[in-house]
Amino acid sequence: MDPTVNTVLRWSASHRVPSYFVEQELSGWGFNAMMGTCCQALREISAPQGFSYGCDHGVSKHSMGDTTDLNGSILQGSTEEYTDHPEDITIAIEVKYLVPLLLPGAVDPEPHDTRSVATALDPDNHKANQQQVTELLSQTLRKAGEKAVPLLEIVSSRLEQRDFWNDAWIIKKAGSPEPSAKERALQGYVWVPVELVSPKMLAKDPSTVQRMRRVLERLVSSHRLVANYSCDTHCHVGRSDDRAYTLSTLKRLATLLWPAEEALRSIRDRNSPNYNNEYTWGFEMRYSRLGKSLHANRVCGRASEAFVAEMTDEIPDKQVVKAIYAQEAMSARELQAFREIWKQNSHEGLGKLLSGDEAKYRRLGFNFSAFGLEDERARTNPRTMEFRFMEGTLRPDLVASWMIICGTIAEVAISRSDSRFEVALARLLHKLDGGSPCTIKRLLERRGRRLGRDFRDLMEDLGVPLDVYRAFLGKVIQQN
């Protein structure tokens, strides 16, 4: 037997590495023609408990109870009836603003602002103010070539918001925005909170980002919008046919986002009054059922080799397993989190695991609640995963860039033959090994510099162009 093959097989047996991992490595080295020899070698090695080897040379299939899906991912006992494809990824945003109306007879408090401001028709009537602002924004969207529908119109017509997800902006009252001291100091205004929900768009269509920038630039240049700390920007990723992502895709997405949370959330301003989600709900994953369970069970420290072997036996995705085995040492907390994610056998179970058990923590910064179906909002909302922690902004370029980043994360989770997932996950796990010298050195660094490098590394591993994430990188370094 070739010495390299012999080494790989013996290493796999002693470390209890899943068979698909071994075969992937052998295939990658050009040993497809030698699988008959490998079969014999594997039969002669005393297999660890729980491993049952079988082969069918008629179809060139070798397995230990694993099933390979159409995208090349190994899914033990997979029963998924459809697959996800990058070209079907859709993206939609929700942006929140405060819009001023001028009180009748009041002097314009911002006379040098050339953008128009309408006079309130009935300033003491909140509903009338809302309708007036909604109509003004609708007119602007229509001038930009978009279809715009006020939520009140949808409700009065006895229709559902889902009837407009494909092709219209939905405009409605926002719950969180409120004027800060700066806005309240502008005497003569009445402030109206508003939320604009975009139609879903294909993430990989180049016109999507151009369209979003054009629309937001028209809104910002036409109205005296304010996006303070009580406003936020949400981004949804889903499928073009409105079905939920496959369970395996959602597990991969959760597996990547769990260790990436600090790097991605570093785009938030640490000095903001809303940094800890006092105004908008988008808390960290530690408030999820998964996070609380890990905390309650005090899972910490490094994982033993036996624990790594045990856990990876239960994770049927070859890229996740390879990223784990790329570590010199593995965090027990992250490994246990992956185990809990991958043992879920339904969308509902995974959605609940990744959501909080209280209403305040139901929709976290990485929002999987649409799959948990725990309340009416989850049951009627689109079957999407939502990024909820980007702050409100008047910069169309930031919103467009965030759309690209979120779409890329979804693409990497879906594309099982793409090495970006494995590369990004492996580096994230390496940084979470709390006992390594490099990690201790990282903890002594200035926070902004460390988070800036972590954010840059993640973007590079995901293949996001520098021009896309450059502005966020500056925010991370300066605001932390």
98 and 183 in contact (C-beta within 8 Å)? yes
79 confidence band (pLDDT: 50, 70, 90):
low
Nearest to 427 by CA among 449, 442, 407, 415: 442
CA-to-CA dists, residue 190 to 59, 128, 135, 180, 352, angstroms: 72, 12, 16, 13, 40
Mean model confidence pLDDT for the chain = 83
Tell me the per-residue pLDDT of 205-214, one tens digit each, with 9 for 90 and over.
999 999 999 9
Tell me: do 231 and 307 sit in the same domain: no
Q: What is the per-residue pLDDT for 23?
A: 45
Tell me which of 310 and 455 has the higher pLDDT. 455
Tell me: do 293 and 340 sit in the same domain: yes
355 and 364 in contact (C-beta within 8 Å)? yes
Q: What is the per-residue pLDDT for 440?
A: 57
Q: Does 122 score more than 80 pLDDT?
A: yes
Tell me: do 404 and 341 sit in the same domain: yes
Q: What is the per-residue pLDDT for 380?
A: 83
Tell me the per-residue pLDDT of 444-459, one tens digit each, with 9 for 90 and over.
678 889 999 999 999 9
Q: What is the per-residue pLDDT for 20?
A: 41
Tell me: do 42 and 98 sit in the same domain: no
246 and 84 in contact (C-beta within 8 Å)? yes
438 confidence band (pLDDT: 50, 70, 90):
low
Q: Does 78 score more than 60 pLDDT?
A: no
- Average pLDDT on 294-323 reads 88
How far apart are the C-alpha atoms of 324 and 25, rounded to whole Å?
15
In a domain, 447, yes or no: yes
In a domain, 319, yes or no: yes
Tell me: do 141 and 227 sit in the same domain: yes
10 confidence band (pLDDT: 50, 70, 90):
very low
Q: What is the per-residue pLDDT for 444?
A: 62
Q: Six-digit token pair at 2?
A: 């070739």
Tell me: do 339 and 231 sit in the same domain: no
How many degrees, rounded to 5, is the angle at CA 373 between CA 370 and CA 378?
A: 50
How far apart are the C-alpha atoms of 405 and 419, rounded to whole Å?
17
Tell me the per-residue pLDDT of 252-279, one tens digit each, with 9 for 90 and over.
999 999 999 999 999 999 999 999 888 8
14 confidence band (pLDDT: 50, 70, 90):
very low
Q: Does 331 score more than 90 pLDDT?
A: no
Q: What is the per-residue pLDDT for 62?
A: 35
CA-to-CA dists, residue 125 to 32, 154, 176, 225, 474, angstroms: 74, 21, 19, 20, 42
Q: Six-digit token pair at 381?
A: 């909302």
In a domain, 82, yes or no: no
Tell me the per-residue pLDDT of 94-120, one tens digit each, with 9 for 90 and over.
999 999 999 999 999 999 999 999 999
Number of domains in the chain: 3
379 confidence band (pLDDT: 50, 70, 90):
confident
Q: What is the per-residue pLDDT for 391?
A: 94
- Average pLDDT on 154-176 reads 93
Tell me: do 59 and 94 sit in the same domain: no
- Average pLDDT on 133-152 reads 96
Point out the domain boundary residue: 203, 235, 267: 235
6 confidence band (pLDDT: 50, 70, 90):
very low
Q: Does 155 score more than 50 pLDDT?
A: yes
Tell me: do 181 and 226 sit in the same domain: yes
In a domain, 78, yes or no: no
Q: Does 330 score more than 60 pLDDT?
A: yes
Tell me: do 185 and 122 sit in the same domain: yes
Tell me: do 162 and 298 sit in the same domain: no
In a domain, 80, yes or no: no
- Average pLDDT on 18-34 reads 43
In a domain, 69, yes or no: no
Least confident of 38-42, 53-57, 106-110, 298-302: 53-57
Tell me: do 226 and 253 sit in the same domain: no
Rg (CA), the chain: 25
- Pairing mode, strands 89-102 and 232-239: antiparallel
Q: End-to-end distance of the chain based on CA atoms, in angstroms?
A: 56
In a domain, 276, yes or no: yes
How far apart are the C-alpha atoms of 90 and 84, rounded to whole Å?
12
- Average pLDDT on 336-360 reads 92
381 confidence band (pLDDT: 50, 70, 90):
confident
Tell me: do 216 and 327 sit in the same domain: no
In a domain, 79, yes or no: no
Tell me which of 113 and 378 has the higher pLDDT. 113
Number of neighbours of residue 219 by Cβ within 10 angstroms = 21
Q: Does 332 score more than 70 pLDDT?
A: yes
- Average pLDDT on 50-70 reads 34
Range of the domain at 198: 90-235
Point out the domain boundary residue: 47, 63, 79: 63
Point out the domain boundary residue: 179, 203, 235: 235
Q: What is the per-residue pLDDT for 219?
A: 97
